[in-house]
Amino acid sequence: MRKKAIPSVFDPSKNVNYRLDLLIQLLYDLSCHERSYVLRDITGECRVSTEYQERIANFLKIPQCTVGFWDIDYCIDWIYAALFLSQTEPTGSVYENVGNLIKGNNEDVDILLALRTENRVDLVMVEVKVEKPFSQSQLTSKVRRLNGIFGANGDKFPNIHPHWVLASPCRSRRIRTEAWPNWMTIARDEYLWYEMKKNFHSMKVTRCDSDGTPCKEGSHWMLEGRRGVKLSVHITPQERYSILQNVFVSDQVKIPLESLSSHQSTVKVSYSVPELLTIIHALSREAEQTDNANREDELWELHDRLSTLLHDEGIIEKRMLRPFDG
């Protein structure tokens, strides 16, 4: 993992590139997750693919660059420590925790890339969700910390350009970014996002009862495909109630009425594509109109889960899932 010994921490007589090289070195030396050692032990240097590097660089409009460092699940504490030690003029070996930026917890970024160009490092921090939707509270916590580290305009450290990117199979419309710093969003508070490819043929192990109904205290278990012929989804009775409340039931759209008194934590419901599209449209409209923040979050989460189901099945493209204007 370690590339070389850490040089004398910060030398103000050195130039910009010395400081940037020191930042890269400190990012290596602070990374101590076992998974990082295992990855590099198995794969050698475990380099970032040229295709991924070019995709990220082009997406963020970063000049021709090289990958100076990369890692997964990189602690935010380590990011700040590497920046502070390489870009400021610390004295001694004990430092004041200004702004309480060192939290002493495991809060991290899923992917960290340090892209190196002449007199510049672009720090790309990626938050990834594949099976579950993004959590607004989790994003808010990380955004608040990164804002404290880089500043509202991302210019607290000269020659270092931060980037905050979200990645998932489908873009979520339920993420609120009004309070995010300028460098995290583009026009109209839109967050930066790219598609994270997903293995549509993967399997999952599910606990169930003897009839194959999923339940947390199941005495049996079964394998379920994440991609199948039937468009079925396990939803909670509360989510089922939200659907029944918000979907207009017509002769063309038949929605089966399961009992809401089920003792199971979820119920399995199968819908046709038109039914699912009608449900998704209705959830979107209601989420945009409600004044209840908790209800809005619940509706958008169910909306995203059902949208991802349709996308995973390859039935409709992501662009057909948004926007929902009625």
Q: Rounded to the nearest 5°, which phi and psi values hold at 216?
A: -65, -35
Span 179-237, pLDDT tens digits: 999 999 987 778 999 988 765 556 678 888 888 777 888 899 987 665 433 455 666 76
Same domain? For 138 and 273 the reply is no
Same domain? For 129 and 23 the reply is yes
Same domain? For 264 and 136 the reply is no
How many domains are contained in the chain?
Answer: 2
Same domain? For 105 and 56 the reply is yes
Same domain? For 161 and 302 the reply is no
Q: Which residues contact 231 (CB under 8 A, 6 or more apart)?
A: 270, 271, 272, 273, 276, 309, 310, 313, 315
Residue 117 lies in a domain: yes
Same domain? For 162 and 256 the reply is no
Q: Quick one: which of 74, 82, 83 has its CA closest to 31? A: 74
Q: How many CB atoms lie within 10 A of CB 169?
A: 17
Q: How many CB atoms lie within 10 A of CB 275?
A: 20
Q: How many CB atoms lie within 10 A of CB 109?
A: 24
Which of the listed residues 195, 217, 245 is the one where a domain comes to its end? 195
Same domain? For 174 and 248 the reply is no
**Mean pLDDT, range 22-49, rounded to an integer:** 87
Distance set, CA 153 to CA 10, 89, 113, 117, 138 (Å): 25, 22, 20, 21, 21
Same domain? For 154 and 255 the reply is no
Residue 24 lies in a domain: yes
Q: Pick the residue with more confidence: 7 or 88?
A: 88
Residue 206 lies in a domain: no
Same domain? For 174 and 244 the reply is no
Span 253-299, pLDDT tens digits: 334 444 334 444 565 666 666 667 777 877 887 888 888 888 788 78
Listed as own residue / partner, the contacts of 265-268 with beta carbons closer than 8 Å and 24 or more positions apart are 265/214, 265/215, 265/216, 265/236, 266/214, 266/215, 266/234, 266/235, 266/236, 267/234, 267/235, 267/236, 267/237, 267/240, 268/213, 268/214, 268/232, 268/233, 268/234
Question: In which domain, by residue range, is 312 found?
Answer: 229-321
CA distance 190 to 184: 9
Span 88-120, pLDDT tens digits: 887 788 999 999 999 999 999 999 999 999 889
Q: Quick one: which of 146, 66, 56 has its CA closest to 109? A: 146
